[in-house]
Amino acid sequence: MKLFDVYPINDIEIVKAEGSRVWDENGTEYLDLYGGHAVISIGHTHPHYVERLTNQLHKVGFYSNSVKISIQQELADKLGKVSGKEDFQLFLVNSGAEANENALKLASFYNNRKKVIAFTGAFHGRTSLAVSVTNNPKIVAPVNQTDNVIFLPFNDVEALENAFKEFGNEVSSVIVEGIQGVGGIREASTEFLRKIRFVCDEYNSVFIADSVQCGYGRTGKFYSHDYAGVEADIYSMAKGMGNGFPIGAISISPKLKPWHFMLGTTFGGNHLACAAALAVLEIVEQDNLLYNAEEVGNYLITELKKLPQIKEVRGRGLMIGIELPEELAHVKKELLFKHHIFTGEAKPNTIRLLPALNLTKADADIFLEAFSLELAPKPSKGDKELVQ
């Protein structure tokens, strides 16, 4: 049987990982500033994480949501505390798309409406409803197409106001990333997020903060939307939540009330996933990783802004986009194959840094040095002859 070939891959097999380092089958060491796509939040194979998961596995790995699973409540208590949303409610799933799918569905149950407002550049996942609010027609199959979704220009306050004036009473929810990840590390402005809050309150629509990539402390605040001083009605999360163990969730405002069988999942909230998520939050809290993400992120952003060859540096904390001019499109590959540094990418020609939240300044420096070297103008043949 062949694998269904949907991923363009780098020919590297990772066989060992620790902290912000991974090793391939030849023993080559790499610095990981990609975190397996923003997933590795507390570093690879963190000892506390390994221990908590191993202990849980020896006790009970899975049982269905038909019985009491008190580790779910333990996770809810810890998440409420660390995220500053102790009065919110937790529903556990397995991925980011599933989190958004349930958020959109829950909003629609709440106000009995169908329309959703999403924005240009948005990525919310690949399941049916999540992909229909994702602004990329190439990944929307005909069966996912719907007239219920309205795309508005990102960060356009006037367009948002006008849309609500026109059909606000039909809008079930507005879904927005605090910082667009796939969209190229573009931050929603404070004014924009506040306006979303305002119109959602005015029209009883639900404000969904997609925090799958920009959440879980990556930007220095638990949810990046927190920077705007607004509270959403639902926060969706996944990626960094389980440090690689598949888990996602929605954190739900008390104004949204549940009823039995309204939402459901077989695997969501299983013992092992909860143990993984708890281990992550324990380390986030104990090692003050929100502070570290902000500190090391600010340092990286400040240093990167000094490099004249860069078109633009965007982002917050350890969610950083470095847009390069076309002629430097090769730099990402050089970082990987010459300097052995993993980074992510986004359009247009943007390198995405999504490392573990405990990245050290020393590791940031290793990247900065390699990166500066690759950006520096290479001596042309003529220059060489002059020197010789």
Q: 187 pairs with which residues across the strands?
A: 179
Q: Which is nearer to ligand PLP, 185 or 238 (CB)?
A: 238
**Alpha-helix runs per DSSP H in 226-379:** 271-286, 289-305, 331-337, 361-375
Q: Which is nearer to ligand PLP, 238 or 301 (CB)?
A: 238
**What Å distances lie between residue 189 and 51, 194, 218, 227, 249, CA to CA?**
41, 9, 18, 9, 25
Which residue shows structure tokens 């000094």?
306
Give the SS3 label for residue 279.
helix
Q: What is the DSSP string of 137-205?
A: GGG--GGG--TTEEEE-TT-HHHHHHHHHHHGGGEEEEEEESEETTTTSEEPPHHHHHHHHHHHHHHT-
Instruction: State the amino acid at position 315 in one-letter form.
Output: G
- Assess 125 for contact with ligand PLP (CB under 6 A): yes
Q: Which of 29, 23, 15, 44 is nearest to 357 (CA)?
A: 44
**What Å distances lie between residue 324 and 154, 307, 317, 341, CA to CA?**
22, 11, 20, 17
Of 106, 117, 133, 182, which one interacts with ligand PLP (CB under 6 A)?
Answer: 182
- Assess 188 for contact with ligand PLP (CB under 6 A): no
Of 49, 88, 119, 123, which one interacts with ligand PLP (CB under 6 A)?
Answer: 123
Shortest Å distance, C-beta 98 to ligand PLP: 7
Q: Which is nearer to ligand PLP, 212 or 249 (CB)?
A: 212
- Assess 124 for contact with ligand PLP (CB under 6 A): yes
- Assess 132 for contact with ligand PLP (CB under 6 A): no
Of 31, 93, 104, 212, which one interacts with ligand PLP (CB under 6 A)?
Answer: 212
- Assess 221 for contact with ligand PLP (CB under 6 A): no
Segment interacting with ligand PLP, rule: CB under 6 A, options 55-63, 138-146, 208-216, 342-350: 208-216
Q: Which is nearer to ligand PLP, 144 or 372 (CB)?
A: 144
Of 35, 36, 96, 184, which one interacts with ligand PLP (CB under 6 A)?
Answer: 96
Q: Which is nearer to ligand PLP, 354 or 364 (CB)?
A: 354
Shortest Å distance, C-beta 55 to ligand PLP: 26
b/e 1-36 (16+ beta carbons within 10 angstroms → b): eeeeeeeeeeebeeeebebbebbeeeeeebbbbbbb
Q: Which is nearer to ligand PLP, 241 or 370 (CB)?
A: 241
- Assess 213 for contact with ligand PLP (CB under 6 A): yes
Q: Which is nearer to ligand PLP, 104 or 328 (CB)?
A: 104
CA 112 from centroid of its chain's CA atoms:
29
Residue 82 tokens read as 């660390």
Q: Which is nearer to ligand PLP, 20 or 100 (CB)?
A: 100
Residue nearest to ligand PLP according to CB distances in the complex: 96
- Assess 93 for contact with ligand PLP (CB under 6 A): no
Of 33, 42, 79, 97, which one interacts with ligand PLP (CB under 6 A)?
Answer: 97
- Of residues 284-303, those binding ligand PLP (CB under 6 A): none
Segment interacting with ligand PLP, rule: CB under 6 A, options 89-97, 141-149, 262-270, 300-308: 89-97
Shortest Å distance, C-beta 126 to ligand PLP: 6
User: Which residues touch 135 (CB under 8 Å, ≥6 apart)?
Assistant: 118, 119, 120, 121, 122, 123, 151, 183
**What Å distances lie between residue 97 and 94, 104, 149, 219, 323, CA to CA?**
9, 11, 16, 21, 27
Q: 32 pairs with which residues across the strands?
A: 342
Interface ranges with ligand PLP (CB under 6 A): 95-97, 100, 123-125, 177, 181-182, 210, 212-213, 238
